[in-house]
A and B are shown apart, each in its own frame.
Chain A
Amino acid sequence: MSMSLEHRSSLRKLPFPACTNEALKRLQNQCLTFAHKQPSPKEIEVVLEVINEFVFNAGSGKSDKRSTPQTILELQMLQVLLDYFKDPDIDPTVLCTVFVFLFMDPSKTEVMAKLVSLAMSIPTESVLKCTGVWMVQQGFTSERCMDLAHILVDEYILVIPDHVNTLKNLARLCPIFTSNLMTAITDMYPTLDKPPPKKILELFVAWMNVSSCIPFTAANKAINGSLPPSSAGSQSNSGTFTSLIGMARWNILAPLLDDPSNDAIYARLQLALLESFIEVQSIRSEYKPDVVAVKKVVALIQSLEMAMKSCENVQPEAKQESLDRLGQFLQAVSFSQCLSGRIAEIITTLKKLPSNRLIQMYVVNLAKV
């Protein structure tokens, strides 16, 4: 039987990386007990101290290892963590709990981003899955989640060469991580002032071509049912968080941008988005009924209205293209029965937009239903 976390002296006798491995093993055992009873603040404190000493700062205090640079030590530590998470014999729920404890301290976001980048490039499913669950628990709009997304985008996705081929299969390997990352990324680029980089658009298209339903993962009954129970509590805040509205906003606002260089990729993303709704409609029962909240659609329409007002010099064709894309998106949402809320609010909001035949058709059809 492994020693408890309190016996730190036994850990201190071990050299790096044996001490880290042993610490992780003890942490894991501790987490097993947390499955039966809530941890006390004292217990949590001990856990965090051990993590700090034997995971993140292991080796740095040893006198004989002084010559080893800090970056190398960090790399070795990440390798130990990655190997630990690869162990197929450890229960995924326990792994998730370990992951949560490891990165509970907000100062650890940066090192977490390094681990996740490594897991994205190698790819390591268990780490990505834990990250996905962690993002749900944190909430997509939370500061830490946004921080993580920012670091992953700026220091990894936008930097690596051939990012599409390196990353596109993540959509199949770990949908929960990919879709949560997509949601976080759409929140990173909410307005015309800060459009998404082309590399991000390309990656989104690639992910949706690999797995058409990827943006709907958070609404998938089976995937959510299989999540560790610890994450279930924080699911029910307000509807489902997906990247759908965010992507739609990109596509709809894109024609108003004074930059035609990404037109083709936006058109492709719009098509992929419509296709994903059709795909979901054909297997509708596998998904929760409330995927897209009416109030978010209303907000989307309002943001278009605002953008149009602020870009008076934009060509009427471009505005019509924006409206056409909005109409296409609305039709897709309705067709796939993904709306939840008072539909009349949508019709009211649409009246404030310039006239567009497709939107008129949509409104007429909606009224019939």
Chain B
Amino acid sequence: MGVKTREGDLSHLNDVDYLVSRSKELRVKDPDRSKSWMLTAQMMFPKNFAIQYEAYQVEKTAGNAMEAGKFLKHLFEHFHGSDGPSEAVLLEEIHQLVTGLQNQEATRDEPDILGRIFEQLPTDTRKKILLESASKANDTLTYAKQFMLAFTRFPELIPSYGSNFLSVVVSKCPTKSVSVDPLLELLVKEACPQLLGVTQLKIEVSMLDDILYHTIDYLSHQVLAARNQLKDGASTNSPSDIWVIVFGFLEEIGQRMGWSLTEDLNEVLPEVLWQRVHSFSQQNVAKQDSEAQNQLFFLATILFLRSLSEFATDSWEQTLEPAILVEAFIAHQSEETKPKNHPKRRRTTEDERRFPLVTHGDRHLSNGEHPSVMVASFLRAYRYYDLIHSEPGLNAMFQQLRGITQTLASFCVDVAQYQGRFRDALSILRSQPTPHIPAKICRNHVKLATIQFSLGEYHATADHLIEAVANLPPVISENEKPNLPAILIGSALKQPSAVKTRHVHFLPFTRHHILAYCARILIYILKDRALQPTSPNNDITLGHVLVLLQYIFPEEKDLMLMMVHKIKQKDAFSYPLFSSYIVQIELLEEFAHLLGDPTCKVALDLSPSGGLQSGNQSQRRVGTRGANRGEKEEVRTAIVKQVAKSQEPLDELLISFLEENHDSILECLQFLSSPIQMEHMEQTRIVCQLIRDGSWVIVLGRSTL
């Protein structure tokens, strides 16, 4: 009776379903009998997809990779390519399998059951499955990834399928993308290194050109990305790796093109590469040979981008923002101080005069330290940039490049600054989007300040410097040394040179360095006013310069003494900020000397009340002018009080001074003394350079003119 019930249950089924049901009902309870039914079904209906697929699924579920592999091979060979539902089921299975393989490749995990089934298949079937899956991919990225999977596992497929694959990927790579496109990344990082070295693979020259343009596009993104990666501190893929990869396949392209510049790219030192490119350009510049020009263009551009990328990496220095290229100072070296009978010194060349000295960080060239890596990478990038821009043909090609402007903006500002094209630098900088993050705002103001300074726009210079300090992030760098002697910080801003007329400096983006730079520039632009007794706010300006000089003491000690001397010659001197900001012990001593000096007739008013505004209104309070001994004592007491503050940190003092006296400082620069004010801007620059070149005597002489 039991049989009848069971048969009754299944009697409505057709033969195929009957056999599959018999197998299914036993699957858990009695796997061996279940499998016997499955085998019977397969033998009875060898051309039935449902049964064969079911058999495959049973083995797959049971984890029998070898058995399942046999079934999958059978399925793929007998049912693939037909129309109808079986094809879709089969393609889905293949899709799952290939996706699994991709993940496995990426994660280096142990293969899952599908992966193990795949390994059981004969080589020929494996190849067919990978190619089939790739060619059925819905999007180009999947297409490319799956083809790369096939090429990685079976490099022998490359000669037959590589050419078509490259043309599809190259044509689908986006020509304009804001971020790095994954397809572009795959082309450059995986496809090119793997395919271009296969000599049996034929590739058209135009295709190679396209690949090079895409590579340049990718690399210019990479320069930006390298910065961001560094900033995030999560650099998964060392930026230098990409250059090894790119140089690797660039050699292959060079071989295919018959180029000479691409030999042994990964072995040759950057300096030697530059020599190679440079002499190649000199040999070929006049020839109008478009093939040579192409070669030069691609190589120079890619090498330029590498130098730029190294520069970007080097300039970051674990700070929030990269080092800033600023205008710095030259200390004039007179003939006497120069070493005599210097054997190598010939006539100074034009180039040596034309281009500024470049330094970085706290390095002093005179100390015989090695030139900074950052300076070297900057200069290398500059040379390639200059080479490209000085050849009209190359320049025209370079301008055609997509997406390179964004990469170059910041570098172009530096180049213009380096070349002394300050107006250009300013206009590029102003064309950039306004930053919103404090660190970037701060950096932008320093940059604007240094360019305005070079242009002689001192009012704007001071304004930007004070804004920069106002936006100074509280913690900038992990390696900021909190109690570094101020004398060390920023002293490299002034370098001795007998030849150079200018000095540009990569200022590390730390609080100390920025403050040190601000102080020096403000001293520089205020001291003229301070030393002109006729200028309206002379006392205030003098006082401000003294406050600033404390920060860099004992640098410019002579200037400080000269300022004190200037006060001594005055009838009266009023600086209401004295008790707030003058704390430096030696300066306080100088003031004490003034009081004690019988030849000194100056009446000092150093009391805080009345403030700056009233001070400007010449509504002075009684100080030491014609004063009795009691009033003098009061000033002396005030000075002694200040001595107690002399140990306070100068950083905070400088910041609060700049922030609270923003308007006052700008006012000091408002009324330029007539000779300079009248002069044309270009003339101002010449004067400025003269001043920077010369000693203080020259400055004094200039101001008394």
Flag if A278 contacts B40 (CB, 8 Å). no
- Say whether A267 contacts B18, CB under 8 Å: no
Q: A316 and B40 in contact (CB under 8 A), knowing A267-B32, A267-B33?
A: no
User: B15 contacts which chain A residues (CB < 8 A)?
Assistant: 361
The answer to whether A328 touches B40, judged by C-beta atoms less than 8 angstroms apart, is: yes
Q: Which residues of the other chain, A, contact B44 by a CB distance below 8 angstroms?
A: 331, 335, 361-362, 365
Q: Are B3 and A317 in contact (CB under 8 A)?
A: yes
CB distance from A7 to the nearest CB of B (A): 60
Name A321's closest neighbour in chain B (CB-CB): B33
For the complex, give the distance between the alpha carbons of A335 and B37 in Å: 14
Q: What distance in Å separates the Cβ of A153 from its nearest Cβ neighbour in chain B? A: 25
Chain B, range 11-68, C-beta contacts under 8 Å to A: 11, 15, 18-19, 22, 30, 32-33, 35-37, 39-40, 42-44, 46
Q: A331–B1 contact, CB under 8 A?
A: no
Asked whether any CB of chain A lies closer than 8 Å to the CB of B209, the reply is: no
Beta-carbon contact of A316 and B32 below 8 Å = no
Which residues B160-205 have CB closer than 8 A to chain A?
Answer: none
A307 within 8 A of B: no
A267, A277, A334: most-surrounded residue (chain B CB, <10 A): A267
Report whether A267 and B43 are in contact in the complex, using a CB–CB cutoff of 8 Å: no
Q: In the complex, are the beta carbons of A274 and B32 less than 8 A apart? A: no
The chain A residue with its CB closest to the CB of B45 is: A365
Report the bound CA distance from A328 to B43 in whole Å: 9
Asked if B660 is an interface residue, CB under 8 A from chain A, the answer is: no
Known pairs A267-B33, A316-B1, A316-B3; A327 contacts B40 (CB<8 A): yes
Min CB distance B13 to A, Å, is 10
On chain A, which size bracket covers the interface? 20 to 34
Using Cβ atoms and an 8 Å threshold, which residues of chain B touch A277? Answer: 43
Is B84 engaged at the interface, CB distance under 8 Å to the other chain?
no
Answer whether residue B93 sits at the interface, using C-beta atoms and an 8 A cutoff: no
A264 at the interface (CB under 8 A from B): yes
Complex CA–CA separation, A71 to B335 (angstroms): 120
Q: State whether the Cβ of A118 lies closer than 8 Å to any Cβ in chain B.
A: no
| Interface secondary structure of B, over-half rule | helix
Q: Tell me, yes or no, whether B7 is within 8 Å of chain A by CB.
A: yes
Q: For residue B30, which residues in chain A have a CB less than 8 angstroms away from its CB?
A: 264, 267
Chain A residue numbers with a CB within 8 Å of B1 are: 316
The residue of chain B having its C-beta at the shortest distance from the C-beta of A278 within the complex is B39
Query: 1/0 contact trace for A318-354 toward B, CB 8 Å?
Result: 0010001101100110111000000000000000000
Residues in B whose Cβ lies below 8 Å from that of A264: 30, 32
Cβ-based interface call for A275 (8 A): yes
Known contacts: A270-B32, A270-B36. The answer to whether A335 contacts B2 by CB under 8 A is no
CA distance A317 to B40 in the complex (A): 19
- A80 within 8 Å of B by Cβ? no
CA distance A316 to B109 in the complex (A): 52
> If A317-B2, A357-B18, A361-B15 touch, does A331 touch B43 (CB 8 Å cutoff)?
yes
- The one of A316, A357, A361, A365 in contact with B2, judged by C-beta atoms closer than 8 angstroms, is A316
Contacts of A119 in B (CB 8 A): none
Chain A positions 234-280 with a Cβ under 8 Å from a chain B Cβ: 264, 267-268, 270-271, 274-275, 277-278
Q: Which residues of A contact B43 (CB under 8 A)?
A: 274, 277-278, 331-332, 334-336
B3 and A271 form a contact (CB under 8 A): no
Q: Are B2 and A328 in contact (CB under 8 A)?
A: no
Among A325, A327, A335: residue with most chain B CB under 10 A: A335
Q: Cβ of B39 and Cβ of A275 under 8 Å apart? A: yes
User: A268-B32, A365-B44 known; A274 and B39 CB under 8 Å?
Assistant: yes
Known: A335-B44, A361-B15, A365-B44. Contact between A271 and B39, CB under 8 A? yes
Best-surrounded residue of B1, B3, B36, B37 (most CB of chain A within 10 A):
B36
CA distance A271 to B55 in the complex (A): 14
**A210 vs chain B, min Cβ distance (A):** 14
- Report the nearest A residue to B67, measured CB to CB: A275
What's the Cα separation between A270 and B39 when bound, in Å?
11
Q: Is A358 an interface residue (CB 8 A)?
A: yes
- Residues 88-122 of A, flagged 1 when their CB comes within 8 A of B and 0 if not, give 00000000000000000000000000000000000
In whole angstroms, what is the CA distance A274 to B18 when docked? 19
Alpha-carbon gap, A270 to B37, bound state (A): 10
A278 to chain B, nearest CB (A): 6
A357-B7 in contact given A331-B43, A365-B44 (Cβ < 8 Å): yes
Complex alpha-carbon distance, A292 and B10, angstroms: 32
B2 touches A271 (CB 8 A): no
Query: With A320-B3, A331-B43 as given contacts, are A271 and B36 in contact (CB-CB < 8 Å)?
Result: yes
Whole-angstrom CA separation of A324 from B39 in the bound complex? 13
Q: Which residues of chain B come closer than 8 Å to A325, judged between CB atoms? A: 36
A335 to B39, CA, bound (A): 11
A342–B212 Cα distance when bound, in Å, is 74
**A332 contacts B40, C-beta separation under 8 Å:** yes
Report the nearest B residue to A269, measured CB to CB: B32
**Residue of B19, B40, B46 touching A274 (CB-CB under 8 A):** B40
B46: which A residues are within 8 A, CB to CB? 335
Q: How far is the CB of B661 from chain A (nearest CB, A)?
A: 94
Residue of B nearest to A332 (CB): B43
Q: How far is the CA of A324 from the CA of B23 in the complex (A)?
A: 12
Contacts of A357 in B (CB 8 A): 7, 10-11, 18
- How many Å lie between the Cα of A267 and that of B35 in the bound state? 10
The residues of A that contact B33 with a CB separation of less than 8 Å are 267, 270-271
Per-residue A-contact encoding for B660-680, CB less than 8 Å = 1, 0 else: 000000000000000000000
In the bound complex, residues from chain A placing their C-beta under 8 Å from that of B36 are 267, 270-271, 274, 325, 328
- The residue in A275, A336, A361 that gathers the most chain B C-beta atoms within 10 A of its C-beta is A361
| A209 to B401 CA separation, bound complex (whole angstroms) | 67
Residues of B within 8 A of A331 (CB): 40, 43-44
Q: In the assembled complex, which residues on chain A have CB atoms less than 8 Å from the CB atom of B37? A: 328
Name A358's contact: one of B11, B35, B40, B42 (CB within 8 Å). Answer: B40
Q: How far is the CA of A316 from the CA of B6 in the complex (A)?
A: 12
Residues of chain A within 8 A (CB-CB) of B35 are: 271
Q: Which chain A residues lie closer than 8 Å to B42 at the CB level? A: 278
Q: Mark A154-165, 1 if CB is under 8 A from B, else 0.
A: 000000000000
Name A279-319 residues within 8 Å CB distance of B. 315-317
Name the CB-closest residue of B to A267.
B32
**Closest A residue by C-beta to B7:** A357
Residue of B nearest to A354 (CB): B3
Distance from B167 Cβ to chain A, minimum over Cβ atoms (Å) = 41
Q: Which residues from A are CB-within-8-Å of B40?
A: 274, 327-328, 331-332, 358
Task: Please indicate the chain B residues that have their CB under 8 angstroms from the CB of A324 in the complex.
Answer: 22
- Most chain A CB neighbours (cut-off 10 Å) among B11, B18, B33, B46: B33
- A270 to chain B: closest residue by CB: B36
Give the docked Cα–Cα distance between A30 and B211 (Å): 81
CB within 8 Å of B: which of A182-229? Answer: none
CA–CA, A90 and B606, complex, Å: 124
Query: With a CB–CB cut-off of 8 A, which chain A residues contact B2?
Result: 315-317
Docked pose: A358 CA to B11 CA in angstroms: 12
Query: In the complex, A331 Cα to B43 Cα: how many Å?
Result: 7
Q: Are B7 and A271 in contact (CB under 8 A)?
A: no
CB-defined contacts of A336 to chain B, threshold 8 Å:
43
- Shortest beta-carbon distance from A267 to chain B in Å: 4
Footprint of A on B, CB under 8 Å? 1-3, 7, 10-11, 15, 18-19, 22, 30, 32-33, 35-37, 39-40, 42-44, 46
List 11 A-B pairs, Cβ < 8 Å: A267-B32, A268-B32, A270-B32, A271-B32, A271-B36, A317-B3, A335-B46, A358-B40, A361-B15, A361-B44, A362-B44
Nearest 3 CB-CB pairings of A with B: A335-B43, A267-B32, A274-B39
Given contacts A271-B33, A317-B2, 18 further A-B contacts (CB under 8 A): A268-B32, A270-B33, A271-B32, A271-B39, A277-B43, A278-B39, A317-B3, A325-B36, A328-B40, A331-B44, A332-B39, A334-B43, A335-B46, A357-B18, A358-B19, A358-B40, A361-B44, A362-B44
